[in-house]
Structure 1
Amino acid sequence: MRKADRLFQIVQLLRRSSRPVTAEAMAAELETSKRSVYRDIAALMGQRVPIRGEAGVGYVLDTGFDMPPLMLTSDEIEAAVLGAQWVAGRGDPALARAARDLIAKIAATVPERLRPMVLEPAVSTPSWNVLPEAIDMAAVRHAIHGARKVALHYRDEKEAESRRTVWPFQIAYRDTTRIVLAWCEMRDDFRMFRTDRVLDATVLEDRYPARPAPLRARWRAEMTARYGDAH
């Protein structure tokens, strides 16, 4: 690995970690020696990259530092293209358009030698046809971001219909269906709603008395307690 690439990877490694990273851990990931990592850290500090830490303890990258957004490795490009392909085939119309636009922007801005990885990728996702829905998923996404309640007219697997107010906090994807994870006021508990079974949905002006992130954390904790870490 060239030194320039190694310096870039060190910054990336520190940026994605929420805890101090030791030189030993960096050396193992970069397949180099700790001595090389120490030299690279010193070189980065010399270039005024805001790295803090010391040998034997670990290093952190101060918040607010970023590199030019288009300095992508070939693996990062393939990861971005694969993710965008997946969203283009499975996301709601607004997300699908955004994913296709993202692929086009990546292709237009990466160096010429990397462009074939975008236009002729070695990775792809299988075709996927979502079941018909009577719900605006873009509106649900906006409701989640705004912590707004949603009124649902829902038909369950036994064909029983109900009307309920929910606090949506996440959208999940399963095979050919999408799932809205929410707190249900009627059941006073977490519930999962298949979007193809929603007969009607209205985003309300009322905000629910929580934030999506804590609700997601509570839901994950409950699922782990019920089903274990494999869930």
Structure 2
Amino acid sequence: MRRADRLFQIIQVLRRSRQPVTASQLAVELEVSQRSIYRDIADLIGQRVPIRGEAGIGYLLDRDFDMPPLMLTPDELEAAVLGAQWVAGRGDAVLARAARDLIAKIASAVPARLRPFISEPSIGVPKSRVMAADGLDITRTRSWIGSGRKIRIRYKDEQSRETERTIWPTIIGYAETVRLLAAWCELRQGFRHFRTDRIVSAEFLPEPSGCRPGELRARWQRFMESERGIGPP
């Protein structure tokens, strides 16, 4: 993580917390040393970021810390918060943290008159059930999808039979308690949907997929439309 990005992330962590955050907690979340956190905090204070506290006790960000207001309607705010709440409860660890940061960022950025639509929304996401453990790194898989690279997996079907596949990962979907990875399967020469909890092992290959990510996703969408019988009259 670049230092400039880390300074911004420290602000995000403090913004979403109502209790003092210790240097130790910041160091664990940002995966750096406490000494680096102390230097970063000192630099932020030197740049007039209103951080209060001290080493050994914790740090708080002044709630009046100013950011440009977001020009969002109440409906848009509730839609954004609802989506972020869903991701916070069901996404992988990196996406879940990003969703919580997003809610905190929106709450800090919007005018005061709109904040009740965030703190007291009229809709909510039901508490998520425990997701089955993934057999591969979902965060890295998202990166491979974006860069259009292949993954070699060992996959176990309903009868516990294992096969080895080289796939072109396309999109990650979410069911109630499992994640699904849609991908072009070189073995079957077609799109398949793999339950991530049935993936026994995964090797992230440097080899590029056979087409660009946008084209691959468009092909998958056409495949799904044909499976559902959706098409021109």
TM-score, reference length from structure 1: 0.67
Query: C-alpha offsets along residues 122-176 of structure 1, whole Å, 9 cap, x if unaligned?
Result: 2111122211222110000000000010111111111111111100011111111
The Cα offsets for residues 56-113 of structure 1, whole Å up to 9 and x where unpaired, read as xxxxxxxxxxxx8711111110000000000000100000000000000001111111
For 1:187, the aligned partner's letter is R
Distance apart, 1:182 and its partner CA: 0.4
- Contact 2:151–2:168 (Cα < 8 Å) also in 1: yes
TM-align CA RMSD:
1.6
Matched residue, 1:184 = 185
Partner of 2:89: 89
Cα deviations by residue, 1:207-231 (Å, 9 ceiling, x for unpaired): 112012222222222222232239x
- Residue 143 of structure 1 aligns with an amino acid whose one-letter code is W
Distance 1:209 1:121, change over 3 A: same
Taking a change above 3 Å as real, the CA distance of residues 153 and 69 of structure 1, as seen in their structure-2 partners, is farther
2:70 corresponds in structure 1 to 70
User: Where in structure 2 are there 5+ consecutive unaligned residues?
Assistant: 1-67
* Stretch deviating more after TM superposition (221-230 or 204-213): 221-230
Give the match for residue 213 of structure 1: 214
Aligned residues: 163
Which range moves more in the overlay, 211-220 or 180-189?
A: 211-220
C-alpha contact (below 8 Å) 2:85/2:99 kept by paired residues: yes
Gapped regions of structure 1 (runs ≥ 5): 1-67
Which is higher, the Rg of structure 1 or of structure 2? Answer: 1
Distance of 2:209 and 2:86 partners within structure 1: 31
Structure 2 length-normalised TM: 0.67
* Cα distance, 1:205 vs structure 2: 0.7
- In the other structure, the counterpart of 2:160 is 159
Q: Is the 8 A contact 2:151 2:204 kept in 1?
A: yes
User: Could you say which residue in structure 2 is the equivalent of 1:98?
Assistant: 98
Counterpart of 2:112? 112
- Secondary structure of 1:123 counterpart: coil
Is residue 69–residue 109 contact of structure 2 (8 Å, CA) maintained in 1?
no
Whether the aligned pair in 2 keeps the contact of 1:168 and 1:182 (CA below 8 Å) is yes
% same residue: 52
